[in-house]
Amino acid sequence: MTMHLELLKIDSLHKTFKKHKVTAVDNASFSIFKGEVLGLVGESGCGKSTLAKLILRLIDADKGSIFYKNKDLLKISNGDMRKARKDLQIIFQDPYASLDPSMRIGEVIEEVYSIHKNVSWHERKNKTIELLETVGLGESYLNRLPSELSGGERQRAGIARTLATDPEFIICDEPVSSLDISIQAQILNLLIELQKRKNLTYLFISHDLGIIASVCDRVIVMRSGKFVEEGQCEAIFINPKHDYTKELLTSSIGFLDKKPK
Amino acid sequence: MNKLTVFGLCIVGFFMVIAIFAPIIAPYNPGQIDIKNILTAPSYSHIFGTDSLGRDLFSRMVYGTRISLMVGFIAVGIASLIGIALGAMAGYYGKWVDVIIMRFIDIMLCFPTFFLILAVIALLEPSIINIMIIIGATSWMGMARLMRAEILSLKERDFIYAERAIGASDLRIIARHLIPNAMAPVLVSVTLGIAGAILVESSLSFLGIGVQPPTPSWGNILSEGKAVMGAGWWMMVFPGLAIFITVLGYNLLGEGIREKLLKS
């Protein structure tokens, strides 16, 4: 794996929610290299999801910069950002909330094609079916509504939508934490397989150390908006430096029994 | 669906059929004057009787259904367009856009609507088109507020973030994702709004500044009936009943939809 091309460089990113006077992300700086899976771990409410939305400019940052291939995403116009979104995608935590309840699965994916015009009009349907098959759904799902799908199937549909833009970088924001244990492994395997096959780069957010250990190359530990520790996955799990990391590790006893891949 | 909703739906459907097939249903030309048969009571040949010019009241009522429903539908259509567009913008963009639109709504709500309509009609001429536009332009505020409230709660949902993430434009997000998902409560408001608009049109026509004779509408038939109240009770009873039943029908239907939405 070539891990040296710096794909995304986040520099002192900051966000305070004025209404609640909460600093959700406090001077976050880190880099993600092409082809790697970077884990972001921390308890719920520590600002992980806010950070994800900040990186994709889904909410506005107070200050800082986000360099994607040496271009500062916070400085480009809304129109340019919409084009750049093609390369940067996100998979949401709750598959029950992340699909438009009034749209059929086929329409959800074809919409991406009609926005980015990356697939010609008469190829759209075939491409959509192909994509659905890639994520383990089939042609029969084209005309189904999200309400007719199970949680796992919805998450697969969400992943299909994410892949439709043919992105380079995907933020997986707790992609399995709202799914049944039995489904979690299937979705994780799908994500890992896609990452390997398409040489994708992931920012993998989770509060589950076991999952982080089995998926990620490097990991960042986050606590109330701040990064407390960063390093290679094994190094951090075997020899944690920061007290909070140790606390996290001891509070999830048994995770090391799960074999890291 | 409960029985009252079904009843409301039947009424609404019944009058729609009458409006659509008016030329087939009406036995006479609604404008045909018959001096020999002035103010005849309901009989076999004129089941609702005739008016003070000898015109068949039943035929005039049937054609009046067309006018009254058309005014109701188009007026509410105009109100929905304004209300949905402004409400969606206020909810989605927030900040100063929201402040301006909401203050504008407050100002519009301050006016006693009916008298505002009276004043405007006095300046313009009372044609059907003017009436529809004016009723529409003064009754969109409730819909805008409903729409705004729905959008406010919808826009923080993950699927809207997902749309932004795949690069959808604001217009696409509002038109394709927010409005369709926010339509349900607005639909109730639309149904109730039709009842309201029919009432306003009837009131205006009754006062003689709505739909102008010889075009029949329930309101102006009622108005003509007022002049001959003692001599021809049928001139007031039938249009009055038609207005009453139609408004009842739309209100029952609206309430039925509202109840259904609250349950789901």
pLDDT digits (tens, 9 = 90+) for B73-82: 999 999 999 9
| Domains contained in chain A, number | 2
What does the pLDDT average to over B217-240?
87
Regions in chain A scoring below 50 on pLDDT: 1-2, 259-261
Is the pLDDT confidence value at B88 over 90?
yes
Mean pLDDT, residues B157-174: 89
Taking Cα atoms as reference points, which of A140, A135, A186 lies closest to residue A162? Answer: A135
Same domain, A207 and A244: yes
- Does B169 sit within 8 Å of A82, measured CB to CB? yes
- Co-location of A158 and A173 in the same domain: no
| Domain's final residue, options A166, A193, A214 | A166
Express each pLDDT in A34-64 by its tens digit: 888 898 888 877 888 888 888 888 888 888 8
Handedness of CA B179, B180, B181, B185 (dihedral sign): positive
Answer yes or no: do A178 and A158 share one domain.
no
Same structural domain, A174 and A223: yes
Q: What is the CATH number of the domain that holds B30?
A: 1.10.3720.10
Does A191 lie in the same domain as A81?
A: yes
The b-or-e profile of B139-151 (16+ CB within 10 A means b, else e) is: bbbbbbbbbbebb
Query: Are A160 and A171 contained in the same domain?
Result: no
Q: What is the DSSP letter of B56?
A: B
Its pTM stands at 0.81
- Number of structural domains found in chain B: 1
Mean of per-residue pLDDT scores for chain A? 84
pLDDT tier for residue B12 given thresholds of 50, 70 and 90: very high
Nearest chain B residue to A81 by CA distance is B167
Is residue B89 predicted with pLDDT exceeding 90? yes
Calculate how close chain B gets to A161, using CA atoms only, in Å: 8
What ipTM was reported for this prediction?
0.84
Task: Give A131's contacts (C-beta < 8 A, 6+ positions apart).
Answer: A109, A160, A163, A164
Domain holding B235, by residue range, is 3-263
Residues A19 and A126 in one domain: no
What is the DSSP secondary structure assignment for residue B47, as one 8-state letter?
Answer: T
B35-52 confidence digits (pLDDT tens): 888 878 888 888 888 888
The total number of residues written for chain A in this structure: 261
Asked whether the beta carbons of residue A58 and residue B176 sit closer than 8 angstroms, the reply is no
Question: What is B170-196 written as a DSSP string?
Answer: HHHIIIIIIHHHHHHHHHHHHHHHHHH
Strand order in the sheet with A169-173: A88-91, A169-173, A201-206, A37-41, A218-223, A226-232
Measured between CA atoms, the residue of chain A closest to residue B180 is: A102
Of B166, B169, B180, the CB nearest to A165: B166
Whole-number pLDDT of residue B244: 94
| pLDDT level of residue B264 (50, 70, 90 thresholds) | low
The model's pLDDT over B170-221, given as tens digits with 9 standing for 90+, comes to 899 999 999 988 888 888 999 999 999 999 999 999 988 888 888 899 998 9
- Contact flag A85-B180 (C-beta cutoff 8 Å): no
Q: What is the mean pLDDT of chain B?
A: 89
| Predicted pLDDT at A257 | 52
Tokens 């020999």, residue located: B36
**Confidence label for B136 from pLDDT (cuts 50, 70 and 90):** very high
The 10 Å Cβ neighbour count of residue B129 is 11
Q: CB-side exposure of B140: number of CA atoms within 13 Å?
A: 25
Q: Convert the pLDDT of each residue in A181-200 to its tens digit.
A: 888 888 888 888 888 888 88
**Taking an 8 Å Cβ-Cβ cutoff, which residues of chain A contact chain B?**
53, 56, 58, 82-83, 85-86, 88-90, 92-94, 97-103, 111-112, 115-116, 158, 161, 164-165
> With an 8 Å Cβ cutoff, are B161 and A90 in contact?
yes
Buried b (16+ CB within 10 A) or exposed e, A17-39: eeeeeebbbbebebebbbbbbbb
| Residues of A whose CB is below 8 A from B161 | 53, 58, 90, 92, 98
Same domain assignment for residues A172 and A248: yes
Q: What spatial distance separates the first Cα and last Cα of chain B, rounded to whole Å?
A: 13
pLDDT, position A255:
52
Please choose, from the candidates B238, B244, B246, B248, the residue with its C-alpha nearest in 3D space to the C-alpha of residue B60: B238
CB atoms within 10 A of CB B70: 16
Query: What range does the domain containing A71 cover?
Result: 6-87+167-254
Burial class (CB within 10 angstroms; exposed 0-12, middle 13-18, buried 19+) of A5:
exposed
Q: Does the distance separating the beta carbons of B162 and A90 come in below 8 Å?
A: yes
A98 with B163: Cβ contact below 8 A: no
Same domain, A141 and A172: no
A157 belongs to a structural domain: yes
B154: which residues sit within 8 A by CB, 6+ positions away? B160, B178, B181, B182
Q: Among A109, A139, A166, identify where a domain stops.
A: A166
Residue A260 maps to a domain: no
